[in-house]
């Protein structure tokens, strides 16, 4: 019994250690990404562009919907490379006090310390479906840790190339990982937020959708 107690204490301490280390790394990487994003905006060149009238899905899309949790936390840390990240926007959800840099891509490297934009989906403020993925796990990132607390009428704010776009949440629902139709283009400017659910089990995907309310 004493051995089991010691094991549980050590296991708990290990989880806490990795959790706090992950949060420290997340804060550091987010700070660096903000600096890169700010320099891109100052240069006068949008980080990502798409031809006028293109609503997205021009690239190949996934057969299943990320985010996928890495099996080995240590290996994920060792493989992480910030130089491969392409920050291009900042996403805020006031209701759950989230403000994070969004990068292009939804690979494990992209999602390790940032939100990820599904390649080929819409861009902020433009016609189409702006699809964004994020983790909700204390170890691998909890940007969307409280996304289930969002309700219709809440705001999702995206800063893109120095311009602010506000989306109003219209619906929240759950789908299977294979239901990639949620990434399909839409005729109107829309945002789709994606995360795993239930937490730590991740058998499904929680979807939060909203429509653009303001456009400069």
Catalytic residue among 196, 200, 204, 209: 196
State the pLDDT at residue 74: 42
Dump pLDDT digits (tens) for 61-72.
Answer: 556 676 654 443
Per-residue pLDDT, 18? 41
Catalytic residue among 112, 136, 205, 209: 205
Higher-pLDDT residue of 96 and 142 is 96
Mean pLDDT estimate for the chain: 80
Which residue of the set 57, 135, 136, 209 is catalytic? Answer: 135
The question of whether 205 is a catalytic residue gets the answer yes
186: pLDDT strictly greater than 90: yes
SS3 144: coil
User: So where are the chain's domains?
Assistant: 2-212
Q: Give the per-residue pLDDT at 15.
A: 40
Annotation marks residue 204 as catalytic: no
Q: Identify the band that residue 159 occupies on the pLDDT scale cut at 50, 70 and 90.
A: very high
pLDDT for 123: 95
Cβ neighbours for 82, distance < 8 A, ≥ 6 positions apart: 29, 32, 33
Is 50 a catalytic site residue? Answer: no
The number of C-alpha atoms within 13 Å of 92 and in the hemisphere containing its C-beta is: 9
Q: What is the pLDDT of residue 68?
A: 53
Say yes or no to pLDDT of 145 above 80.
yes
Share of the chain above pLDDT 70, in %: 69
pLDDT at 50 over 70: no
Closest CA to 108 of 80, 144, 83, 88: 80
> Does position 185 have pLDDT exceeding 80, yes or no?
yes
Contacts of 116 (CB under 8 A, 6+ apart): 66, 67, 102, 103, 104, 105, 106, 107, 110, 132, 133, 134
Predicted local distance difference test score (pLDDT) of residue 158: 97
Sign of the CA dihedral running 99, 103, 109, 111: positive
Options 3.90.1150.10, 3.40.640.10, 3.60.15.10, 2.40.260.10; CATH for 2-212 is: 2.40.260.10
């Amino acid at each position: 019994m004493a051995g089991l107690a010691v094991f549980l204490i050590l296991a708990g301490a290990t989880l806490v250690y990795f959790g706090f280390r992950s949060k420290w790394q997340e804060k550091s990487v987010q700070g660096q990404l903000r600096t890169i994003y700010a320099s891109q905006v100052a240069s006068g060149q949008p980080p990502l562009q798409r031809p006028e009238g293109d609503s997205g899905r021009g690239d190949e899309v996934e057969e299943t919907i990320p985010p996928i949790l890495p099996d080995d936390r240590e290996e994920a840390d060792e493989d992480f490379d910030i130089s491969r990240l392409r920050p291009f926007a900042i996403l805020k959800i006031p209701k759950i006090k989230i403000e994070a840099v969004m990068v292009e891509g939804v690979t494990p490297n992209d999602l390790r310390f940032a939100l990820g934009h599904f390649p080929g989906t819409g861009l902020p403020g433009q016609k189409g479906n702006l699809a964004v993925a994020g983790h909700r796990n204390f170890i691998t990132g909890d940007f969307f840790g409280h996304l289930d607390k969002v309700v219709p009428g809440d705001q999702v704010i995206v800063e893109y190339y120095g311009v602010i776009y506000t989306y109003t949440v219209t619906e929240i629902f759950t789908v299977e990982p294979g239901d990639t139709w949620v990434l399909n283009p839409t005729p109107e400017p829309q945002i789709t937020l994606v995360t795993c659910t239930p937490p730590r089990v991740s058998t499904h995907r929680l979807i939060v959708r909203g429509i653009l309310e303001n456009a400069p």
